[in-house]
Amino acid sequence: MLKTTQFMLIAALFAAATGSSRAAPDDMSPQVRVKAQQAIDTGLKYLRGRQAPNGSVLGSSGLSALSLTAILNNPAGNADPVAVGKYASFIASKANSNGSIVEQAHDESYNTAVSISALAATKDPKYAPLIAAGQKFIVSTQIGESRGFAPVDNWYGGLGYGGDERPDISNVYVALDALRATSFNPKDPVWQKALLFVSRQQNRSESNDQKWAGNDGGFAYSPGGLNPPETKNGSGSYASVTAAGMYSLLLIGTDKTDPRVQAAYKWLTTNYTLDSNFGTNSKMTLFYFYRAFSNVMSAYGEKEFVDGRGQRRNWRNELAEQLISLQAADGSWVNRDSNVYWEDKPELATSWAVLALEQALK
């Protein structure tokens, strides 16, 4: 059973995720804050310009949902109700009888998760049935006894892109974030099952019973310590999935003083850089990393940290300045160094960048 302190943490995390609380004014310099808001506004203008007449972004429920969430999360408000309605209507039109929200039988769990988060952000009660059905679908895709897996199996508690696909920490993070954002029952078994899976993705042998686990505190991508081949680091830890893994621990209700959280935080801050998805020696999924890093650092709640070189870092200022420096003249962002997972598409990279900036401003 979750303890009272865990419920308090969950409430704080949810407030941070939904923007109902703001960071202290000195968490970001006033000058950077102004520039960051300008970058958000021009980024959102670009995203609105990419909306098709049917309300979609590239005909994708997932991309449409990320754009919509970015628009609704703008600290300055000013969301265009017509554009919002068109986004939401398109997303809702992709709801399926099994509760998933996706235009094709692929990436069902991921697309459903970002879609219900976006629909919840509209605060329109007419979408409540679709959100509830989406929650049910996500929980149904979690790997467990109903699919013949037991707690001893390393797939147990995980979620993949949908169906019988291999689970991974990224899909778990996106799913848990959506369940929290849509106020899913914190006592449901989905959380504790996910905790077992998440713990087994961490390079921390004290809490990971898998033989492959190392001891640096970071995270690997999928069961068996298998990372995508693009990372070129075997079962080594890398930044984007470590941010996702640590944030998953916090979403589940793990206290920030827990050794697993502390180990992940130490790995992220010791190896810290915003110039790459560190651990991969590349810029693959760089904008995904910025979004996950902004989420987890906001949830962890510390304004500054000391990195492995002994330098004090204000992560909000530095993340905002980094993203501002990478923005194109038309307001978009794009990963020019890697096309892994669609980041060469400005519609996706811009959504990740805007969402990261918005979280940093909260």
- The pLDDT score that the predictor gives to residue 7 is 38
Q: Say how many CA atoms lie within 13 Å of 359 toward its Cβ.
A: 27
Q: Which DSSP category does 28 fall into?
A: S
59 is a domain residue: no
Q: Are 347 and 63 in contact (CB under 8 A)?
A: yes
Q: What is the extent of the structural domain holding 159?
A: 4-51+152-361
- The pLDDT score that the predictor gives to residue 164 is 66
190 is a domain residue: yes
Pair of tokens at residue 126: 């007419």
205 is a domain residue: yes
- The pLDDT score that the predictor gives to residue 161 is 85
Instruction: Tell me how far apart the alpha carbons of residues 36 and 30 are, in angstroms, rounded to a whole number.
Output: 10
85 is a domain residue: no
- The pLDDT score that the predictor gives to residue 20 is 38
Phi–psi pair at 64, nearest 5 degrees = -65, -40
129 is a domain residue: no
Burial class (CB in 10 A: 0-12, 13-18, 19+), 140: middle
Instruction: Tell me how far apart the alpha carbons of residues 68 and 66 are, in angstroms, rounded to a whole number.
Output: 5
Predicted TM-score of the model (pTM): 0.92
Domain count of the chain? Answer: 1
Question: Measured between alpha carbons, how far is residue 268 from residues 78, 195, 198, 244, 253 in Å?
Answer: 35, 20, 16, 11, 20
Write the CB contacts of 176 (distance below 8 Å, at least 6 apart in sequence). Answer: 191, 194, 248, 251, 252
Q: Which residue has the tokens 């976006």?
A: 118
178 is a domain residue: yes
Q: Which DSSP category does 337 fall into?
A: S
- The pLDDT score that the predictor gives to residue 163 is 62
Alpha helices, DSSP H, located in the chain? 4-18, 30-49, 61-72, 81-93, 108-121, 128-141, 169-181, 189-199, 239-252, 259-270, 286-300, 315-326, 346-361
Residues of the chain scoring pLDDT < 50: 1-25
Q: Is 314 helix (H, G, I), strand (E, B) or coil?
A: strand
Average pLDDT of every residue of the chain: 92
